[in-house]
Amino acid sequence: MTEQTRRYFGTDGIRGRVGDGPINPDFVLKLGWAIGRVFAKEGHSKVLIGKDTRISGYMFESALQAGLSAAGVDVYLLGPMPTPAIAYLTRTFHAQAGIVISASHNPYHDNGIKFFSGEGTKLPEKIELEIEAMMDKPLVTVESAKLGKAHRVADAAGRYIEFCKSTVDSKIDLAGLKIVVDCANGATYHIAPDVFRELGADVVVMGAEPDGLNINQNCGSTEPRLLQAAVLENQADLGLALDGDGDRIIMVDHRGELVDGDEILFIIARAQKNAGHGQSAIVGTQMSNLGLEQALDKLGMQLHRAKVGDRYVMEMMRQQGGLVGGEASGHIICLDKTSTGDGIVAALQVLAEVQSSGHSLHELRSAVTKYPQTLVNVRINKMVEFRSNPAIANAVKAVEAELGDEGRVLLRPSGTEPVIRVMVEGKDATLTNQLANQLAETIKTLLDA
């Protein structure tokens, strides 16, 4: 399914501002029914629903439940749960699908609906197309005797906590580690602190008082400044910042320095290699830092670059047979542990390596020497195909020639607006910044002419 054939689905479900189409109760009710009709073709079905902590989750949970019931599908309500927990529970409940009500790292006034298959993976595009086609049909309620029933899963959090702990060796004891955990006032608020405490860590908790409006507000993986300060203030060994739905992780070392997804990916990949069960194929994205690629190369491992987005990372992991992949933003996928990006699981793999190696997080991340990256958004009058423009190609070649083997250039279009994202990476920050802005001006001049 190409972007042009999608009316509702993006690369990660359906997302928007609450109250605006399609993120309104009428649409979500019909969406629940459409999903139910598609999955009810296989006979009696059950679907799990979980959500993050934003206030609109109550409304959309009820709308989805009503739509699914009208289609004759049983609903299992998980309450506030991280996105990866819903993927895991969908598998263990042998459900036909899992639904997540979340807008991830966005502010509270946005929300979204995303889906997992019965295997805990993103829905196949074929199923998304079927759901979109069903949205065009009139909503017809099944006869009363066949209406779906609703069940609340009281022990969902406990099940997922035990699963997270099972992803590291039972001998791993985090005693002696002082950790600051920022839950982003999101879906991990009642889970992440318990996972790390039960494994023995001394946990200082932040961002675990959700009120429906404060999700991701000055906290979490997209706003880690307060976490950096808290690590220093508490003289902690490290800090962990999750995002609102718990599928991203950014870390902070004992110096208060950020450790991003590229560095986390490297630490996990190297640990697996040292343990004798790593894979040579590691999957990042077009935005993954050149320093990560070089650090992996020294270990005899190859970085494969997917398009930006965890869906594309997962696709390439399957193609290359890789077990570890992720993005600098903190989406880390450990396919030998679970079926999707999971912030808590990724953090546990790093903590296990800290304990078993005897090295601090700062020491573990030091093998990656990151290159300065400058990203400039070029807004143009209208989006046009720029990749085949010879003048732009020549401008890119000129920048690449100046960078030589110690840098790279990436141009990619925004998927939602007439913007071209220009990224230049190189060893010298001043030169990198200068070349990025120079290239951006050239592109704007050429395309707006």
Q: Check residue 42 and give its pLDDT.
A: 61
Q: 249 near 260, Cβ under 8 Å?
A: no
Would you list the DSSP string of 117-139?
ETTSSBPPHHHHHHHHHHTTS--
Q: Which residue has the higher pLDDT, 4 or 444?
A: 444
CA distances from 401 to 16, 224, 395, 430, 435 (A): 41, 36, 10, 17, 11
Q: Name, in order, each residue with C-beta under 8 angstroms of 215's C-beta and a sequence gap of 6 or more.
A: 52, 53, 54, 107, 108, 184, 185, 186, 244
Question: What does R_g of the chain's alpha carbons equal in angstroms?
Answer: 23
pTM for this entry: 0.93
Residue 4 has pLDDT above 90, yes or no: no
User: What residue spans define the domains of the chain?
Assistant: 3-154, 160-365, 373-448
Residue of 45, 102, 104, 339 marked active site:
104
Q: Check residue 55 and give its pLDDT.
A: 98
Task: Please give the Cα distance from 326 to 340 (Å, whole number).
Answer: 10
Residue 43 has pLDDT above 70, yes or no: no
SS3 assignment, position 428: coil
Q: Check residue 416 and give its pLDDT.
A: 67
Q: Is 414 a catalytic residue?
A: no
Q: Check residue 141 and give its pLDDT.
A: 97
- Superfamily of the domain at 373-448: Alpha-D-phosphohexomutase, C-terminal domain (3.30.310.50)
Q: Over range 167-188, report the average pLDDT.
A: 97
SS3 assignment, position 420: strand
Give bridge partners of residue 180 from the DSSP assignment: 204, 239
Q: Name, in order, each residue with C-beta under 8 angstroms of 133's C-beta and a sequence gap of 6 or more.
A: none
Task: Please give the Cα distance from 383 to 2 (Å, whole number).
Answer: 17
Task: Please give the Cα distance from 40 to 314 (Å, whole number).
Answer: 27
Give bridge partners of residue 39 from the DSSP assignment: none
- Give me 152's structure tokens: 């609340």
Q: Check residue 40 and give its pLDDT.
A: 84
Task: Please give the Cα distance from 100 to 267 (Å, whole number).
Answer: 29
Q: Three-state secondary structure along 90-103?
A: HHHCCCCEEEEECC
Q: Check residue 386 and give its pLDDT.
A: 84
| Closest C-alpha among 399, 397, 394, 445 to residue 420 | 445
Domain 3-154 is in which class?
alpha beta
Task: Please give the Cα distance from 323 to 273 (Å, whole number).
Answer: 11
Task: Please give the Cα distance from 237 to 228 (Å, whole number).
Answer: 11
Q: 235 near 257, Cβ under 8 Å?
A: no
pLDDT class for 277, splitting at 50, 70, 90? Answer: confident
SS3 assignment, position 162: helix
| Closest C-alpha among 381, 375, 386 to residue 433 | 375
Q: Check residue 190 and give its pLDDT.
A: 98
Q: In what order do the strands lie in the sheet with 373-379?
A: 373-379, 419-426, 407-413
Q: Over range 333-357, report the average pLDDT.
A: 96
| Closest C-alpha among 47, 49, 48 to residue 57 | 49
Q: Over range 173-194, report the average pLDDT.
A: 98
CA distances from 263 to 168, 283, 334 (A): 19, 13, 14
| Closest C-alpha among 288, 280, 243, 234 to residue 263 | 288
Topology agreement, domain 3-154 and domain 373-448 = no
Task: Please give the Cα distance from 70 to 52 (Å, whole number).
Answer: 24
- Superfamily of the domain at 160-365: Alpha-D-Glucose-1,6-Bisphosphate, subunit A, domain 3 (3.40.120.10)
Q: What does the pLDDT look like over 106-125, one tens digit per residue?
A: 999 999 999 999 999 999 88
Mean per-residue pLDDT of the chain = 94
Q: What does the pLDDT look like over 81-107, one tens digit per residue?
A: 999 999 999 999 999 999 999 999 999
